[in-house]
Structure 1
Amino acid sequence: MLQPEARNLDGNVLRLSLIAYVNAKKRGLVERPILTVIDYSKPSTEKRLWVFDINKGEELFNTWVAHGKNSGSLEASSFSNNPGSLKSSIGVFVTEETYTGGKGYSLRLKGLEPGVNDNAYRRDIVIHGAWYVSPNVAEKYGQIGRSWGCPAVPTQTVKPLINTIKDDTVVFAYYPDQSWLKRSSFLVS
């Protein structure tokens, strides 16, 4: 059983992510029992991305993740679905295919929530590695670097993380946005 206290994950965020996972699975959107949780309510200096194996109840990863440069500095507080916003998106996503591009090995995300994150694929919101996502950068600058909206992760983590979550697994990007929390069809238990 997943125990959020052991990994600094808020119990309510874990609960919501599991509800979203179950609803995505009921809709036939999930191929494998892997759940990625991003908690954008935490500052970027904290490890705020977790990957879980749902069947085994195990944490597979806990690492840092960037938010978009226009979402905030140390803490993200503004999110968007709009192309060119350079902001992160919240909500429920499903992982798609991998590719190697300008940011190296990357993973496409498909946003599942109309008006919240359904432009993610068109915006090229992908998981990729970035040198500026590291504890050294956080220590030197008081925050990790920011992306153009992508959930960028440490370069040494990117390949094993992507290989674990690729191909139709759920990514749940949380922020306590009351409008989204009230209207998301994925958060109805």
Structure 2
Amino acid sequence: MDRRNFTKFALSGFALTFMPDTMGKAALPTAPQPLPVPAMPRAAPLPPYAGLLARAKAALDRHAGAVLLRDRVAIADFDAPSKDLRFHVVDLMNGQSSSYLVAHGRGSDPAHSGWLQSFSNEPNSLASSSGAFRTGEMYVGQHGQAMRLAGLDPQNNNAEPRAIVLHGADYVGEDHIAAWGKCGRSEGCFAVAPHMLPHLLGLLGTGRLLYADKIGAG
């Protein structure tokens, strides 16, 4: 190599040592960056009556010949105290629900604790019964406007002779709860706030399922 070419090569190498860091780094391969992990959507919390809703759906299948309308069901969740909104009407088409106050029978809560203690199907027991009911015709009786109910299970098949119905009662409502801390008791009927009764009768109509139970019952 002659002196001219040697000098040119040496100067080129000398210049490379003064290249900016960014130029040197640009020539180096970079490690692939991990893609951000998308957040998993949170599942909607189950409603407190989810267990009873599953039982109600099973009852719809069990009593398919007796319950013709399957678009919505009513659930009386007697695990909850009477001061809570524990009567739920669930739309099975879209999952939406609305909730209301409902009383239980005095025979199911002799000490008037506000909690249902037991069920009975016996005449004159004044107790609430559990199981599947079919909503029946509307009529006007001693409680005013009301809806008849037919018991579909062995534990509530005396509902009609016992005159277990859905009706309004003054002892069910926010004012009564504010004064007493609980609703009053029925004689086994599903008693609701009088001002909510027309709305409930319209939602339920004739030929739908009303399911009453207590998951914690023995």
What residue in structure 2 maps to residue 85 of structure 1?
A: 125
Q: 1:68 aligns with which of 95, 102, 105?
A: 105
Cα–Cα, structure 1 residues 120 and 28, in superposed 2: closer, same or farther, change >3 Å? closer
- Tell me what 2:13 maps to: none
Amino acid of the structure 2 residue aligned with 1:48: R
Q: Structure 1 residue runs of 4+, over 4 Å off?
A: none
Identity, % of aligned positions: 34
RMSD of aligned residue pairs (Cα, Å): 1.6
Query: Is structure 2 residue 85 aligned with structure 1 residue 42?
Result: no
Aligned length in residues? 171
Secondary structure in 1 matching 2:190? coil
Q: Is the contact between residue 35 and residue 169 of structure 1 (CA under 8 Å) also seen in structure 2?
A: yes
- Pairing 1:163–2:202 present: yes
Q: Unpaired runs of 5+ in structure 1?
A: 179-189
Bigger share in strand: 1
TM-score by length of 1: 0.84
Q: Which TM-score applies when normalising by structure 2?
A: 0.74
Residues 4 and 11 in structure 1, CA contact (< 8 A), matched pair in contact too = no
Greater relative contact order (Cα 8 A, min sep 6): structure 1 or 2? Answer: 1
Match of 1:108 in 2: 148
Match 1:124 to one of 130, 148, 163: 163
Instruction: After TM superposition, give the deviation of residue 11 of structure 1 in Å.
Output: 2.3
When Rg is computed on C-alpha atoms for both structures, the one with the higher figure is 2
The one-character-per-residue Cα deviations of 1:113-154 (angstroms, maximum 9, x if unpaired) are: 12x000001100000001110122112112111111101000
